[in-house]
């Protein structure tokens, strides 16, 4: 293997035609070839596929690539086969194959021709496949879109849950898991479920310094968007709406206002849908109004704006959707319209779901609300969500959001934060923000009653201030390393670094909060 390792750049050039590796690709591949388990967290477009395709091509045996979507698998197989003069280098294995085709795949694997075998997790459990795969040489497993393992990811697939047992049955070989979802909760889930807590973790920054983030209250939204798009005349953009009906209505509204726009959603006739997408890609149309069905696999480098007519269900989705702007490194304006009433609607929708799904959905919505209402750097907020510390003054792209380019007023809240930290410490670090707010503002709840918190000296100490003030303190203290949300319970607040220093009198700075913007939309419509 070492000879191969030494010449990785040569292999890169030979198969892919690239002269240099992107980001950490080379280290990832080297370590995989040395037999280590690897976990890759890289934003979309970072170059994840190459991290398993190249080592698969140069290793003995076949690499099994687990991937959730048949359509994506087919694209990948075609792409890999295009890299080599041989057609059987990559195959898909699934139940759509007839007997002859399956035999061909099996033969190609046995003959050492097939280097990459793409399978969906549900195919892997099929006895016939399992029995065969146990008998042949497997180089390693690649788990693509590994966030599908976690209920906290945006695309949970129950079939991914049992992957570890299946892998163990087939072969004892290295595993490389890859995802563009990097929230600490999802990362933790993936590593535990795949039994790879000792894996080498390669994480690339999720910062997109060329994207500008802005949130506006949802007032006169139609006019606002028309005005915005007119200022970007002739540039490509996407407007995301929650419902198909809204997509159609709004596309029409834009057309009536002289904007070259078309709709896209899963309910449209296939032909129209594809035609609309192609027109957007070919620049015959400037704006696509779409549901979230639009975007997967779309690689248009010069999308100049992404507007959210309705707020997304999680920050993760927001990041993915806005990530389609400015891929070429040029301008990318991300504008979202926020109305707390929309969030209430989403909450009501969640109320009909099973308990665990509802709990998770509500937590994710909480983060979204935090993002919408915060007055701190939006980039810092998003990156914190992905487990990254971002310097809002000197970081790359620091000025690129509404709050940073037009900073809100600051308010010193060191004393109030100290009081909150004392409360958290004295109550044993076991409550979530919502319950702490109940104590601070002196409002009884099921939790305050069951822990008899009404009798505590802290009960109601902050009732002179609005709940929102305390929410802001808790939220910003979390982002500024005073508090941390526990991963297991996803929400219980624990005191960390700066928080401990304050309690021990060692914190010499002051704690400032940006006064959160009020989203009082009573004047709307
Ligand atoms: P991801 O799966 O992380 O979204 P892809 O694997 O689709 O990313 O890669 C994104 C793009 O980057 C592709 O067009 C790919 O060809 C390109 N790419 C990957 N590695 C390199 C490299 N070393 N040099 C140049 N381009 C690369």
Alpha carbon distance, N-terminus to C-terminus of the chain: 68
CA 24 to ligand 1 center in whole angstroms: 12
Closest residue by Cα to atom 18, ligand 1, is 47
Predicted confidence (pLDDT) per residue in 129-139, tens digit: 999 999 999 99
Q: From the alpha carbon of 22, which atom of ligand 1 is closest?
A: 23
Find the residues whose C-beta lies inside 6 A of ligand 1: 18, 21-22, 25, 42, 44-50
pLDDT of residue 523: 33
Q: From the alpha carbon of 42, which atom of ligand 1 is closest?
A: 3
CA 75 to ligand 1 center in whole angstroms: 14
Predicted confidence (pLDDT) per residue in 314-369, tens digit: 999 999 999 999 989 999 999 999 998 898 888 888 888 888 888 888 888 888 98
Closest residue by Cα to atom 5, ligand 1, is 47
Closest residue by Cα to atom 19, ligand 1, is 47
* Ligand 1 binding pocket mutation candidate from 14, 24, 48, 50 (most atoms within 8 A of CB): 50
CA angle 483, 460, 473 (to 5 degrees): 30
* Cβ atoms within 10 Å of 508's Cβ, excluding its own: 6
Contact predicate 92/70, CB 8 Å: yes
Closest residue by Cα to atom 16, ligand 1, is 47
Q: From the alpha carbon of 25, which atom of ligand 1 is closest?
A: 23
CA 45 to ligand 1 center in whole angstroms: 6
CA 12 to ligand 1 center in whole angstroms: 12
CA nearest neighbour of 282 among 265, 262, 308, 255: 262
Contact predicate 142/66, CB 8 Å: yes
Distance separating alpha carbons of residues 50 and 18, to the nearest angstrom = 11
3-class secondary-structure state, position 200? strand
CA 56 to ligand 1 center in whole angstroms: 16
CA 15 to ligand 1 center in whole angstroms: 13
CA 204 to ligand 1 center in whole angstroms: 14
Closest residue by Cα to atom 23, ligand 1, is 21
Distance separating alpha carbons of residues 163 and 484, to the nearest angstrom = 31
CA 25 to ligand 1 center in whole angstroms: 10
Closest residue by Cα to atom 2, ligand 1, is 48
Instruction: List Cβ neighbours of 284 (8 Å cut-off, separation of 6 or more).
Output: none
Distance separating alpha carbons of residues 284 and 92, to the nearest angstrom = 35
Cα 80 from chain centroid? 26
Q: From the alpha carbon of 48, which atom of ligand 1 is closest?
A: 3
Distance separating alpha carbons of residues 248 and 262, to the nearest angstrom = 8
* Ligand 1 binding pocket mutation candidate from 47, 82, 145 (most atoms within 8 A of CB): 47
Q: Which long-range contacts (CB under 8 A, 24 or more apart) does 431-435 make?
A: 431/492, 431/493, 432/489, 432/491, 432/492, 432/493, 433/471, 433/474, 433/475, 433/491, 433/493
**Average pLDDT along the chain:** 91
DSSP state of 281: H
Q: From the alpha carbon of 299, which atom of ligand 1 is closest?
A: 14
* Cβ atoms within 10 Å of 421's Cβ, excluding its own: 21
Residues of the chain with pLDDT under 50: 1-3, 519-525
Predicted confidence (pLDDT) per residue in 5-25, tens digit: 558 999 999 999 999 999 999
Predicted confidence (pLDDT) per residue in 412-453, tens digit: 999 999 999 999 999 999 999 999 999 999 999 999 999 999
CA 51 to ligand 1 center in whole angstroms: 9
Question: Which residues share a beta bridge with 290?
Answer: 240, 264
CA 249 to ligand 1 center in whole angstroms: 37
Closest residue by Cα to atom 12, ligand 1, is 47
Distance separating alpha carbons of residues 283 and 236, to the nearest angstrom = 8
CA 299 to ligand 1 center in whole angstroms: 11
Instruction: Look up residue 213 and give its two tokens.
Output: 């983030």
Distance separating alpha carbons of residues 195 and 90, to the nearest angstrom = 27
CA 46 to ligand 1 center in whole angstroms: 6
Task: Count how many residues are written for the chain.
Answer: 525
Q: From the alpha carbon of 20, which atom of ligand 1 is closest?
A: 23
Q: From the alpha carbon of 12, which atom of ligand 1 is closest?
A: 23
ipTM, interface predicted TM-score of the complex: 0.98
Report strand pairing: 62-66 vs 287-290. unpaired
Q: From the alpha carbon of 43, which atom of ligand 1 is closest?
A: 3
């Amino acid at each position: 293997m070492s000879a191969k390792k030494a010449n990785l750049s040569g292999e890169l050039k030979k198969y892919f035609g690239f002269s240099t590796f992107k980001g950490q690709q080379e280290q990832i591949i080297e370590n995989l070839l040395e037999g280590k388990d690897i976990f890759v967290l890289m934003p979309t477009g970072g170059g994840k596929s190459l991290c398993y395709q190249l080592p698969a091509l140069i290793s003995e045996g076949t690499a099994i690539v687990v991937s959730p979507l048949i359509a994506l698998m087919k694209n990948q197989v075609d792409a890999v086969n295009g890299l080599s003069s041989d057609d059987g280098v990559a195959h898909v294995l699934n139940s759509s194959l007839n007997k002859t085709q399956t035999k061909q795949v099996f033969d190609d694997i046995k003959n050492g021709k097939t280097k990459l075998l793409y399978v969906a997790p549900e195919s892997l459990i099929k006895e016939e496949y399992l029995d065969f795969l146990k008998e042949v040489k497997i180089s390693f497993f690649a788990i693509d879109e590994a966030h599908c393992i976690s209920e906290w990811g945006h695309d949970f697939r129950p079939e991914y849950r049992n992957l570890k047992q299946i892998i163990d049955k087939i072969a004892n070989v290295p595993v490389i898991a890859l995802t563009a979802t990097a929230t600490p909760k999802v990362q933790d889930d993936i590593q535990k479920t795949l039994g790879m807590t000792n894996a080498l973790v390669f994480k690339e920054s999720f910062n997109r310094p060329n994207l500008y983030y802005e949130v506006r209250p949802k007032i006169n939204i139609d006019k606002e968007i028309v005005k915005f798009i007119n200022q970007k005349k002739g540039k490509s953009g996407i407007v995301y709406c929650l419902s198909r009906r809204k997509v159609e209505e709004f596309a029409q509204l834009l057309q009536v206002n002289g904007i070259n726009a078309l709709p896209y959603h899963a309910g449209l006739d296939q032909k129209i849908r594809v035609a609309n997408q192609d027109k957007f890609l070919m620049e015959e149309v400037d704006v696509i109004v779409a549901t979230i069905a639009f975007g997967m696999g779309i690689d248009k480098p010069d999308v100049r704006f992404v507007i959210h007519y309705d707020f997304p269900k999680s920050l993760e989705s927001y990041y993915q959707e806005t990530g389609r702007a400015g891929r070429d490194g040029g301008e990318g304006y991300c504008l979202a319209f926020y109305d707390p009433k929309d969030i209430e609607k989403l909450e009501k929708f969640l109320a009909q779901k099973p308990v665990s799904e509802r709990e998770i959905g509500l937590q994710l919505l909480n983060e979204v609300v935090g993002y919408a209402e915060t007055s701190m750097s939006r980039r810092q907020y998003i990156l914190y969500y992905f487990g990254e510390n971002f310097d809002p003054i000197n970081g790359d792209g620091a000025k690129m959001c509404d709050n940073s380019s037009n900073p809100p007023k600051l308010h010193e809240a060191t004393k109030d934060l100290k009081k909150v930290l004392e409360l958290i410490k004295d109550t044993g670090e076991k409550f979530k923000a919502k319950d702490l707010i109940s104590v601070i503002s002196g409002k009884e709840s099921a939790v305050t009653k069951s822990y008899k918190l009404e009798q505590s000296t802290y009960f109601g100490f902050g009732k002179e201030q609005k709940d929102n003030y305390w929410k802001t303190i808790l939220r910003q203290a979390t982002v500024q390393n005073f508090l941390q949300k526990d991963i297991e319970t996803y929400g219980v607040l624990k005191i960390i670094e700066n928080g401990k220093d304050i309690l021990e009198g060692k914190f010499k700075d002051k704690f400032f909060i940006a006064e959160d913007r009020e989203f009082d939309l009573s004047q709307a419509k």
